[in-house]
Amino acid sequence: SDFRPTVDNKPPSKGKNRTGIIVGVIVGLGLLSILTGVGIFIIRKRRKPYTDDEGTNSNGSVFFKNLTSRGPVDKKVIQWLLSLHQIDQDVGYCQGMSDLCSPMIVLLEDEADSFFCFERLMRRLRGNFRSTGRSVGVEAQLTHLSSITQIIDPKLHQHLGDYLCAIRMLMVQFRREFSFCDSLYLWEMMWALEYDPDLFHVYEAHQCGSEKVEVSNGKPKSMSQCGKYERQNMRNGGKSTEGPLPISVFLVASVLKDKSSKLMTEARGLDDVVKILNDMSGNLDAKKTCSGAIKIHKKYLRKVISKFLLSLWAVFVSLFLKVLSCVVFSLIVG
């Protein structure tokens, strides 16, 4: 008679059931809204670099004058850069890729064809955008540019010191330095001068890569199949272990050589050099720059070969003197 159950075995009332369901729904909706907000924030953060770069590709061109922000070309640029990021996640996105993307969109009406051309162009130039905490993708090209300038214009080389001012020109292939039409004209000349039939196999490779692929099909490659710049490299052995220098390095050297007097008199540091180069944007002549690059390339190859022959001659003379001294010593001793 003194026993009292501690647990009420009666089922909960309908009011309590309804209250629990309402509380659960409210908590679930709250969690869902929080997760949705976090997802939107992450997506916007990932898209921000692409949207920040979309307005930098006009370069004052008549093709872009009627475009407004978030216009059809801008939206397509963002979509393409996101797609390229998915294709080549090792490189991802770097500022300046839109400069390489927009000409394809403007020139080619078929979206599939234009994206195909852009993706193949990025295979060729992906090395320019690869960077680590210690180096940038064009660092090797900057080193070669330094040695080229030192040979063709030692005073300018000593005055400049470093060549960080050339990073943008090399990365985006002079899209900011020339007008829209002139930059396209320059691209066509560069591709024609550098043409090598073996490059086709690079574009068709399954993995993206900027390294040149040597293909052996049992037949020697004819020089007549290659562009003028490539023929000069083949004649003079102008190929290093990393492959031939891209003509863009000599184009930068041509621009610096053309502006050498102004750089020597007005530039007192990197900021002044960058300002001088920015002021000339849109005022450069593509044909003149390309002709200057070919001349510098010839001069560079001649001096490199002459330097090699002199060093070879010095080694030969040194060996000859050593042999002669040994012979004389043996005659004296004998």
> Residues 121, 191: one domain?
no
Q: What is the pLDDT of residue 206?
A: 45
6 domain residue, yes or no: no
The token pair that represents 151 in the structure block = 């040979």
Residues 151 and 296 in one domain: yes
Q: Considering 114, 130, 146, which residue would you say is the last residue of a domain?
A: 130
The pTM score is: 0.70
pLDDT in the model for residue 208: 46
The rounded distance, in Å, linking the Cα atoms of 228 and 236 is: 12
Identify residue 153 by its one-letter amino acid code. Answer: D
Residue 55 resides in a domain: no
Q: Is residue 59 part of a domain?
A: no
Please tell me the predicted confidence (pLDDT) of residue 241.
Answer: 46
Spell out the alpha helix ranges (H) of the chain.
Answer: 14-53, 72-87, 97-107, 111-129, 139-152, 154-160, 167-171, 180-193, 199-203, 228-236, 247-258, 260-266, 270-279, 286-333
Asked if residue 58 is part of any domain, the answer here is no
Task: Give ∠ CA 92-94-95 in degrees, rounded to 5.
Answer: 155
Count of alpha carbons within 13 angstroms of residue 178, beta-carbon side = 24
Do 110 and 241 have their domain in common?
A: no
Count of alpha carbons within 13 angstroms of residue 51, beta-carbon side:
9
Residue 38 lies in a domain: no
Range of the domain at 119: 68-130
The whole-number pLDDT of residue 243 equals: 59
Q: Say which residue the tokens 């647990």 belong to.
A: 7
Rounded Cα distance, 195 and 20, in Å: 74
Which pLDDT score is estimated for 212? 46
What's the pLDDT score for residue 294? 92
Looking at the structure, tell me whether residues 78 and 183 fall in a common domain: no
Q: Which residue has the tokens 């000069």?
A: 232
Whether 313 maps to a domain, the answer reads yes
Beta partners for residue 239, in sequence order: 244
Token match 């060549």: residue? Answer: 163
One domain for residues 154 and 301:
yes
Do both 226 and 324 map to the same domain?
A: yes
11 in a structural domain: no
Q: Identify whether residues 268 and 121 lie together within a single domain.
A: no
Residue 158 is predicted with a pLDDT of 92
Residue 210 contacts residue 123 (beta carbons within 8 Å): yes
Q: What amino acid occupies position 45?
A: K
In a domain, 301, yes or no: yes
| Domain end point (choices 90, 110, 130) | 130
Q: Answer yes or no: do 189 and 267 share one domain.
A: yes
Same domain, residue pair 201 and 307: yes
Helices 247-258 and 180-193: angle between axes, nearest 10 degrees: 130
Locate 42 and state its tokens. Answer: 């992450």
Rounded to whole angstroms, the Cα distance separating 165 from 295 reads 22
Q: What is the pLDDT along the chain (334 residues), one digit of tens a residue?
A: 454 555 455 555 555 566 767 767 777 777 777 777 766 655 555 545 444 554 555 554 444 444 444 456 677 788 888 888 788 877 777 788 888 988 888 888 888 898 988 888 888 888 888 877 777 788 889 999 999 999 999 999 999 988 988 998 999 999 988 988 899 999 999 998 888 887 766 666 545 444 444 444 545 567 778 888 888 888 776 555 455 688 999 999 999 999 999 999 998 888 899 899 888 888 889 999 999 999 999 888 888 888 777 788 888 888 888 888 887 777 787 6
Which pair of tokens denotes residue 182? 């002139």
Per-residue model confidence (pLDDT) at position 203:
61
What is the count of structural domains for the chain? 2
Collapsing DSSP states into helix, strand and coil, what is residue 149?
Answer: helix
Q: Are residues 174 and 253 part of one domain?
A: yes
| Domain co-membership, 86 together with 188 | no
State the DSSP H helix or E strand holding residue 244, giving kind and residue range, or none if neither. strand 243-244
Give the residue from 198, 195, 199, 188 showing the smallest Cα distance to 233: 195
Q: Please tell me the number of Cα atoms within 13 Å of 132 on its side-chain side.
A: 3
CATH number of the domain where residue 324 is located:
1.10.472.80
Single residue among 84, 112, 130 that ends a domain in this structure: 130
My answer on whether 168 and 79 are in the same domain is no
* Residue 300 exposed, middle or buried by CB count within 10 Å (0-12, 13-18, 19+): buried
**149, 156 contact by CB (below 8 A):** yes
Torsion sign (Cα): 139, 169, 252, 165: negative
pLDDT of residue 38: 65
